[in-house]
């Protein structure tokens, strides 16, 4: 555990926290908004079709763990943050499988849009307002990370649901499989080979954004 926290480190941790909270909240809003548009009233009844971040925040997973991680509290131990999941009822969808897939993709899709916007703004700031570039680069990397990480086929991440959509896994089987998902994720991010794999996947996902950044600068 790193206890040598100065004002500069605290400021950086708070900036990171703001970016991650906003990005996670918009990710969950994407799920809720899409489900609402496709006819499922469940997210709206739970107050989730809103850009207000608070209904999407899980205090432990969205604030405490990311902040502690940012200040080095966990040392070399990898931890995962999360927001409140958006609950949906697929029986409301006209095209159940297709619409469920669209709702699933909406969260990472929002992170994709945010990453593109942050990349463009970071490139422009590099030219005209360099002081903002580190913040925008942070927003860029956070949203690339959320987009890529959430598409991994491991429960409870969004990508795992494609085991049902594309691979024909029964919902009951998926629910049983999901019980082991968080443990698998913790193991992956704390094993050297797992971290190396995640870093490689992130770097591959970041390639088009870095290329766009270089073109615009």
CA angle in degrees (0–180, nearest 5) for 48-171-197: 80
- Active site residue: 28, 171, 172, 210, which one? 28
Q: Please answer whether residues 209 and 140 qualify as being in contact, where contact means their C-beta atoms are separated by less than 8 angstroms.
A: yes
Q: Please answer whether residues 212 and 136 qualify as being in contact, where contact means their C-beta atoms are separated by less than 8 angstroms.
A: no
Active site residue 12: no
Give the Cα separation of 167 and 157 in Å (integer).
16
Tokens for 114? 């945010």
SS3 13: helix
Give the Cα separation of 68 and 143 in Å (integer).
19
Q: Is the dihedral of CA 170, 61, 108, 187 positive or negative?
A: negative
Query: How far from each other are the two terminal CA atoms of the chain, in whole angstroms?
Result: 38
Q: Please answer whether residues 34 and 86 qualify as being in contact, where contact means their C-beta atoms are separated by less than 8 angstroms.
A: no
The residues annotated as belonging to the active site are 28
């Amino acid at each position: 555990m790193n206890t040598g926290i100065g004002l500069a480190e605290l400021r950086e941790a708070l900036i990171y926290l703001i970016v991650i909270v906003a990005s996670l909240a918009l990710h969950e809003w994407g799920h809720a908004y899409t489900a609402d548009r496709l006819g499922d009233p469940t997210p709206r009844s739970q107050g989730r079709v809103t850009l207000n971040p608070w209904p999407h925040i899980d205090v432990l997973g969205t604030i405490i763990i990311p902040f502690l991680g940012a200040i080095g509290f966990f040392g070399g131990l990898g931890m995962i943050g999360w927001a409140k999941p958006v609950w949906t009822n697929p029986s409301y969808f006209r095209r159940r499988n297709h619409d469920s897939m669209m709702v699933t993709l909406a969260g990472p899709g929002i992170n994709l849009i945010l990453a593109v916007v942050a990349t463009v703004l970071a490139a422009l700031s590099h030219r005209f307002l360099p002081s903002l570039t580190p913040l925008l680069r942070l927003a860029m990397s956070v949203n690339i990370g959320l987009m890529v990480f959430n598409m991994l086929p491991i429960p409870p991440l969004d990508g795992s649901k494609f085991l049902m959509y594309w691979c024909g896994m029964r919902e009951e089987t998926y629910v049983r499989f999901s019980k082991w998902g968080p443990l698998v994720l913790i193991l992956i991010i704390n094993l050297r080979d797992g971290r190396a794999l995640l870093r490689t996947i992130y770097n591959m996902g970041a390639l088009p954004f870095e290329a766009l950044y270089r073109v615009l600068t």
